[in-house]
Structure 1
Amino acid sequence: MATNFSASHTQDSNEIKEMYCEECDSHTGEYATAVAFCVDCVEYKCKTCKEYHRRHFKSHKVQDSDNMPHDFYLEKCSAHPKQLIKFYCSECCIEACKLCKDNEHVKCSNVNHLPTLASGIQNSDDLKNLQQNLDKLSADIKDTEKLLKAKSEVVVKQEEKATEACKKHKDRLVEAFKQQHQDLIDDFDKKMEETIARLKKERLELVQELSEKEIKFKNKITQAETDMKEEVVSSNTEFKVLKSEHLNLVENLEVLTADLEQTQKLGQNCKHFIKLKSTKQLCGNLHRNIEQIQQAYIQHYKFKMFNIQPTELSLESDTIFFTFVEESAVERKVVFNFDIKCDIDLISSLLVLSEQTLLISYYTKFSIPVIIYDVGTSHANYMDDIKFDAKPFGITKVSDYKVAVTFPDKRMIRMITFSEDMKVLDITKIPGNGYCTGIAYRNPYLVVSYWNPASIKILSMSGEVVKTFDKDDNGQKLFIKPWYLNVSPDNTMIYVSDRKEHTVTCLNYDGKVKAVYKDDQLKRPHQLAVDEYGSVYVCGFHSGNIHQLSSDLTKVKILVDKNDGLDQPRSVAYCPNTKRLFVGMPNKIKVFNVSLE
C-alpha cells in the first residue's frame, strides 16, 4: 500500500532501501516504489507511471529496474523543497534540482546527472589524489607536533625565568612602598597627638563661648514669645470686652426682671409703673448692646514662623522669630498658573492626596490614573494606572494612603489603600446603596450623593446607611440631581452641587438647609473644593468658571473663568499646603496658584 513520503527519508537513512516514484511524490504526495528511470527526463518512475510515460513519450529512453541507476541521492533542494537534488554543476561546484538547473544554471555547459557522475568515483583519479593529499597532511601534522613540543620546552623555561625575576622585583617594590606608608603613618600620628591637644583646648573655649550665646538667645526668643503672646491677646481685646459686657447684660436683665416681678407681686402699682418705664428704657439700651455683640468683628489671623537659621550673625542681629498674619478676608487671587497635560477626555473628579500626588477619576475609562507632579515646577509624570471592572466617578481622601471611590454603574464604593510609593496594597468593596456619585469623608463616616432617588446619605465605613436627606421640613425634594459634594473643615456642614437646579446647597448634619447659592453666572455646577478657611470653590461646567463662596455660600468672586483658559471645567481640588487649585478639563488640568488678597 502506498504511503506518504516524509522529507526525513534521506540518503543515509537505514529504512530507505529503494527509490520512489518522483511523479507520484510530486502530484499526489504518495510513496510508490520506482521500477524504471527515464534518461531523457532524469526521473524515476513506478510501474504505472512507467507505462504511462512510454505510451506518451515513445522516443524517451527508459531503463528498467536492473539497468537504472541505483546510487540514490534523496536529499531535497533547499530552494525547492519538493524537488530532489539530481544534478551537479561542475562550473559552479554546486548541486542542483531540476528547477535550479533550468533556471539558475541555464548558461552553464557542464551540468550532469549526479548519480552518473558518481558512478565511477571509487576508482577516480580525484579520489586517489585526495587520499594522497590527506596522507601527506597527516605526516606533516606529526612532524609539526614534534617541532611544537621542542619549541614549547624553550618557551616554558623562558616564562619560568621571567616570572621569577618579576616576582623578586615586585616583592622589593612592595616592601619599599609599605615602609613609605609606615613613615607617613608615624608622621601623621605625631601630628594627630599635637592636633588633639590643641583641639581639646579650643573645644573648651568654644563650649564656654556657645554657652554664653545660648543664654543670650534664650533670653531674646523668650522676650519675643512674650511680645507675641501679648499681641495675640490684644488682637481681639474689643471682642473680649464685649463678652464681659454680655455677662453684665445678663445680670442687669435678671435684676430688672426680678424687680418687676417683686413690685407686681406686692401690688405696689406706683413703684411697678415707675419700674416698668425705667425697665423699658433700659431694654432699648440692652437691645442695642446685644446687637453690637452679635455684630462684633473677630480678628482672624494665622501664626507664621520665620525660617531663621541660628547662625552667629542671626543670633546677634535678628529680633523677629515668629508673628501672626492678619486675615481680615479670605478672598483669594490667582498669582500665576500652569497646565498639566493628561490626555484624559473626561475627568470626573480630582483629589490632592498629598503635596506631590494627584488622583484622577476617569469616568469614560475603567481606571484611575495616579499622577506624581513636582510642586516646584509645572512638570507632571504618570506614575500608575489602576484598572477596574467599572467606571469610577467620585473620589475622597480617607487617610494619607487611603481613598474611597464611587462606582455608580456597579452601585458600590471601593476603599483603596496605597503604599508610601503609591503602589496599590488593598482594594475593599463596600455597598454603595444606590447610584452613588459624589463622596466625601467625615470621620468616621462617608457622605455620598445619589440619583434616582436624589438624596444625600451618611454611611458607615462598612456601607450601612446612618442617615438619609432627601426632603426639607415641608416635604419638598431637596435636590433634583445632586452631582458632587464636600464637607467644611470643621466637619459641621455639607455642600452639595445640583447640576439640574444650578445651585449649591449647604446642609448641617441633621439635614437642615442653612443656605442655597444660585447665580446667573453659574451653570451646571460640578465638583466642589473647600479650603482651610472654609471657602468653597465650585466648577461651572457650562459657564466655564470657578466661583469662590464663603462658608455660608455668600458669593466672594468669580476666581477664574474662560479668560484664564477654562473650557468646560468639570472637577476641582485644592491643596492647602501649596495653596494650589487644580481644575480638570478635557485632556488638561490647569493649576492655579492662589493667595489671600
Structure 2
Amino acid sequence: MASNFSGSLTQDSDEVTEMYCEECDRHGDGYATAVAFCVECVDYICVTCQRYHKRQFKTHKIQDSNSMPQDFYFEKCSTHPGQLVKFFCSECNKEACQECKDNDHVNCSDVNHLPTLASDIQKSDELINFSKNMDQLSKDIKDTEKLLNAKSEVIKKQEENATEACKEQSNKLIATYKQHHQDLVDEFDKKMEETIARLKKERLELIQKLSEKERNFEKKVRTAETNMTQEVVKTNTNFKELKFEHLNLVGNLKALIVDIEQAQKLGQNCELFIKLKLAKQMCKHIQVTSDQIQNSYIQRYKLKESDIQQTSQSLEDQTRLFSFNKVHVSDVEKKIAFNCDINHEFGSITSLLVLSEHTLLALDYNNRCSLVIFKLKKSNAECIKETKFKNQPWGITKVSDYKVAVTFPYKEKIRLITFSEEMKVLDITDIPGNGCCFGIAYSNNHLVVSYNFTGSIKILSMSGKIVKSFDKDDNGQNLFAYPRYLTVSPDNTMIYVSDCRTHTVTCLTFDGKVKAIYKDDQLEYPQQLTVDEYGSVYVCGGVSNNIHQLSHDLTKVKILLDKNHGIDTPTSIAYCQHTKRLFVGMYGNGKIKAYNVTLE
C-alpha cells in the first residue's frame, strides 16, 4: 500500500496506496511517487531521483517497486517533526528517525529498518505467541471483568451501607450536639429565672433601704436648711433690732406730737411741759438711732455651693451641708456720685488729708510750696488759710485732731505742725527724716515713712528715731523699687504701699511680712492711697487715669472712677469717714474733685 503525503503526510483513510519520494520531500521539490528503494540510504525514491542516485551511488543496492518494502510507516518523529520514523532499535526497544539514529543510537548495534523488520511479522513466532497470549488474556479479561463486576457490586453495597450509616450517625451527632446546646440554654434560663427572682428580691430590699436613707437624708437636709436660714436671719439681727427701735421711737414721737398739740389747744400747760420734755428726749434717741442706721453695715454673705459630684455616701457623711461665707465689707462695691469741684490755684497737688469732717488739707509741691486748708461744706469748699514753706512738701498724715506731720524729701526732714481750733499754726517742730522721705502715715504713736531712692519703708518714733526698716523680703529680694506713698489699715495692723515703678500695691505687716501684692494691667503709676472705715483701699492710677477700689487683702473690687468721672492724672486722694466723701487731687489741671461714696 502507498500513501499520499501532500500536507498532513497521512490520508484521511487508514488504507495507503502508494509511497512518496523522500528525496523530493526532503528538498521541497513537491510530491512524487516512489518507484524504488535504496537499501544503503534507506530511502524511497522516484524515477528521477533513482536515475541520479544510480549515477552518484553506483554501489548502492536499489530495489524496484516490486521488491521494495511495501509496508509503509508514515508516523512523524516526536523529536524531529520533519522526519519519518523508519528505524527501530532492538537494544533500546525504541523507534527512531534518521536524525535520532545518527545522534541517539550511534553506539547501538541492533538498529534496523522498520519496514524490513516488519516484513515477516505476520508469520513470526512473536505474533503467533502474542495471538495465543491474547486469547488467554481475553479469557482472563472476561474472568476479571466478572470478578470486577461482582466486587463492584460488593463495593457499591458497602458504599450504600456506609453512606446510610454515615448519614444516620451524622443526624445523631447533630441532634446530640443541638441537645447539648439546648441543655445549656435551659440551664441558663433556669439560672436566669433564679437570678431574676433573687435580683427582684434584692431590688425590693434595696429600694426599701434607699427609701429609708432618702427620708433620713431629706430630713437632714431640711434641718440643715432650717438651721442655715435661721443663721442667715440672725446675721443682721442688730440692724433689724435697731430698725424696730427706730420705728417705735418715730411712732411714739408722732403720738407725743399729737398730745402736745392737744395740750396746747386745751391750755394744759403742765401736760404740755411734761410731753415737751419727753419729746425732746425722744428726738435725741431718734437722732442717735438714725446715725447708727446710717453708719451700720449690712453683713453680706454668699452661700457656698455644695459639690454636686459627691457620692451619696459622702453626702450622708457630711456634717455640714450648707455654709455661707461672710463677705468682708471691704469687698463690697461702692457706688460713687459727683459732689463738687474744689478750685484753687495749685501748681501740683501731691497729698490730701481729711483732718476732720469740716477740714481738708492739700499740699502744693511745685509752684507755691504750701499747705492749703479748706473748710468743707455740704456741696462746696472754701479756702480759709494757706501756709507757705521754704521747701517743697510731699506727704502729709494726721497725728491728732489738730496735729499733722509733713515730709520734705529733699531736705530729709519731717515737720510736725500743731493747729488751733481755728486752724492757726500754734507750733512747728522738725524731726529727722532719715533720708529722702516721701510718703507718710501715723500709727500707734509712730510714723511710717517711704523712701523712693532706697526702696525702703521705715518706722520712726515721734522724735525721728528709726525703730524698724524694711527693704528685703524673706528671700533677700528687694521689697520695693520706688515706694512713693503709703497708708495704714483702720485697725493699724497693715501697711499699704504704692510702688510707681513696679505698678503695684503691697500689703505688709508692721514686722515687714508681705501679705499680698496687687498688680493689674489697668493700674499704671500708682500714687497716693487711702482707706475707709471698712478697710477698703483706694489707690490713684496716675497714668491709667483711674481710681481702683481694693479689698482689705488687696483683691480688686472694681475701678471706682475713671476719665468718665473727670479723673485726669490723679496723684492724691483722701477719704472722710463722717461725710462719706472721697477727695481726688489732679496733677494735670490742679483741681480737687469730691465724690459721695455709698455701699451698693
TM-score (norm 1): 0.48
TM-score (norm 2): 0.48
Q: Which has the larger radius of gyration?
A: 2
